[in-house]
Amino acid sequence: MALITRLSRLFHADMNAVLDQLEEPELLLKQAIREMEASLSHTEKHIKVLELNQKKLSNKHTETTQAITVLEQQITLCFESNKDELARVLIKRKLETTQHLKSVSTESSNVAEHFNQLKTQRKEHQSQLSAMKQKAEILIQEAPIHSDNLTGAFHSFSIQDEDVDVAFLHEKQKWSQS
């Protein structure tokens, strides 16, 4: 039973070695680098979109604040002129504009938070990408050395059945003596 287990392990080890050679680590690493660069590019585009949104929201905030200031001046004028009904309409507009300002402020803070998260994520991706590129350079520099060694490992050695029989008898004799 132990012999079968050992042969099974040997077979699995050989199959894994063959699969490792078929996978070509350099190609897998290059593909991983391309995928990381694509992800980084996507993150960069998303950051630019968020920057534009942040500018638009900032402009809306400024415009809304100015509109509230104008409405306050108009409300003051209405009270000075004893136009209570007109003041009531302007107060309603001011309340609506104030709610809009709060909405813009909330959206702006959400965009700023998401923007900061993406910038942090971009920084992490850049460091991971540079580490992967360094690994790729090392692997590419070492590749010729390893490929020579590996091709030598796969050379077919000629072992005759008689050699196996002699080695078997020798091992059996050592085992019986101990």
Domain that holds residue 28: 24-138
The answer as to whether 56 is a domain residue is yes
The answer as to whether 165 is a domain residue is no
Tell me the whole-structure pTM to 2 decimals. 0.58
- Give the least confident one: 34-38, 43-47, 134-138: 134-138
- Other beta carbons within 10 angstroms of residue 15's beta carbon come to 10
- Give the least confident one: 13-22, 61-70, 79-88, 162-171: 13-22
Q: What is the pLDDT of residue 154?
A: 47
The answer as to whether 176 is a domain residue is no
**Residue 88: exposed, middle, or buried by beta-carbon count in 10 A (0-12, 13-18, 19+)?**
exposed
The answer as to whether 63 is a domain residue is yes
The answer as to whether 120 is a domain residue is yes
Distance CA 53, CA 113 (A): 13
The answer as to whether 148 is a domain residue is no
The answer as to whether 40 is a domain residue is yes
The answer as to whether 161 is a domain residue is no
Structurally, the chain folds into a number of domains equal to: 1
